[in-house]
């Protein structure tokens, strides 16, 4: 099809009409939502996105008498996609749920490519990327390096964690320990530990304190096991490695935000 040459004025008009249309659609969506909820929305409040399940988003109340409670919300159609860690403004309805009406600016954003290779945000306002690997499933240096690049790009401090240290005693896994030493020599923070035996967990707890941390790594390296070991109330599902392939089975499929308990004094 031949490309039409539009004047600047024509382009301006087209853009203006599109903006008006989109504003009208947003107003319509808001009106539909208000009428659905009987127009009885509470006042605007601060919230923190804790988890995301399709269109439903769990928001932790940040102030008032319900502070710390979780409200299941949906979001206004004109908002961008929200991710775990987002700070939002929300309004309660009269059914223990609510509507997210605004997104606060993000301090940091962590992205990952979707199945079409397009970058999608996965977490916001995080400051530490905990990159977990293990002797099993077989680790890949290029994957660890990609996480390091992602950390650098998002300006998050990386922490490299070698989990399942109990397996290093087996001769076929012994050399993985030297990977961690290589990264330490490059100046990265590193930890060698075991969610199973509990060895090294205190050091991890110390490293995490005072930061908003996100755990990443291949399926089956023990991210959920580590979080369960640190926060017994988290009660996350742990999946065995596949007997056929020795790989993880993608047990955890959503990002969730947990608060660490304050240091005991």
Ligand X SMILES: Nc1nc2c(ncn2[C@@H]2O[C@H](COP(=O)(O)OP(=O)(O)OP(=O)(O)O)[C@@H](O)[C@H]2O)c(=O)[nH]1
Q: Which residues pair with 100 in a beta bridge?
A: 75, 90
Helix (H) or strand (E) holding 33: helix 8-36
- Name every residue whose Cβ is closer than 8 Å to that of residue 19 and which is 6 or more positions away in sequence: none
Least separation, in Å, of the C-beta of 202 and ligand X?
15
The secondary structure of 3-14 as a DSSP string is: PP---HHHHHHH
Least separation, in Å, of the C-beta of 263 and Mg ion?
26
Please identify, using beta-carbon distances, which residue of 190 and 224 lies nearer to ligand X: 224
Least separation, in Å, of the C-beta of 53 and ligand X?
16
> By rule CB under 6 A, what count of residues binds ligand X?
24
Please choose which of Mg ion, ligand X, none residue 200 contacts, taking the beta carbon within 5 to 8 angstroms, the exact cut-off set by kind: none
Q: 100 to each of 14, 26, 86, 93, 123, how far by Cα in Å?
A: 31, 14, 11, 11, 17
- Where does residue 123 rank: exposed (0-12), middle (13-18), buried (19+ CB within 10 A)? buried
| Footprint (CB under 6 A) of ligand X, residues 76-135 | none
Question: Binding string, 182-211, against ligand X, x = CB under 6 A?
Answer: ------------xxx---------------
Question: Binding string, 217-256, against ligand X, x = CB under 6 A?
Answer: x-xxxxxxx------------xxxx------xxxxx----
Q: Which residues pair with 146 in a beta bridge?
A: none
From the CB of residue 214, how many other CB atoms can be counted at a distance below 10 Å?
A: 24
Pairing of strands 87-92, 44-53: antiparallel
Please identify, using beta-carbon distances, which residue of 1 and 169 lies nearer to ligand X: 169
Please identify, using beta-carbon distances, which residue of 80 and 171 lies nearer to ligand X: 171
Q: Which residues bind Mg ion (CB under 5 A)?
A: 224, 251-252
Question: Binding string, 136-165, against ligand X, x = CB under 6 A?
Answer: ---------------------------xx-
Half-sphere exposure in the Cβ direction for 88 (13 Å, CA): 32
Residue nearest to Mg ion (CB): 252
Least separation, in Å, of the C-beta of 174 and ligand X?
15
- Where does residue 189 rank: exposed (0-12), middle (13-18), buried (19+ CB within 10 A)? middle
Least separation, in Å, of the C-beta of 238 and Mg ion?
7
51 near ligand X, rule: CB under 6 A: no
Please choose which of ligand X, Mg ion, none residue 163 contacts, taking the beta carbon within 5 to 8 angstroms, the exact cut-off set by kind: ligand X
Tokens of 17: 């009409």
Tallying the residues shown for the chain, one arrives at 265
Footprint of ligand X (CB under 6 A): 163-164, 166-167, 194-196, 217, 219-225, 238-241, 248-252
């Amino acid at each position: 099809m031949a490309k039409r040459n539009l004047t600047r004025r024509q382009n301006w008009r087209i853009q203006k009409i599109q903006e008006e249309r989109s504003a009208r659609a947003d107003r319509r969506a808001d009106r539909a939502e208000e009428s659905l909820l009987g127009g009885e929305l509470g006042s605007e409040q601060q919230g923190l996105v804790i988890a995301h399940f399709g269109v439903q988003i769990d928001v932790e109340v940040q102030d008032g008498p319900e502070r710390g409670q979780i409200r299941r919300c949906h979001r206004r159609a004109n908002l961008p996609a929200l991710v775990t860690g987002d700070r939002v403004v929300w309004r309660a309805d009269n059914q223990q749920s609510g509507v997210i009406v605004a997104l606060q600016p993000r301090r940091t954003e962590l992205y990952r490519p979707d199945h079409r290779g397009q970058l999608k945000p996965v977490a916001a306002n995080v400051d530490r990327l905990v990159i977990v690997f293990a002797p099993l499933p077989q680790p890949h240096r290029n994957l660890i390096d990609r996480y390091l690049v992602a950390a650098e790009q998002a300006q998050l401090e990386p922490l490299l964690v070698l989990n399942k240290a109990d397996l290093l005693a087996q001769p076929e896994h012994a050399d993985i320990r030297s990977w961690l030493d290589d990264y330490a020599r490059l100046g990265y923070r590193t930890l060698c530990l075991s969610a199973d035996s509990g060895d090294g967990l205190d050091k991890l707890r110390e490293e995490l304190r005072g930061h908003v941390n996100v755990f990443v790594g291949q399926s089956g390296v023990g991210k959920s096991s580590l979080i369960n070991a640190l926060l017994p109330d988290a009660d996350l599902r742990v999946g065995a490695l596949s007997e056929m392939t020795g790989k993880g089975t993608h047990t955890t499929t959503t990002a969730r935000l947990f608060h660490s308990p304050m240091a005991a004094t």
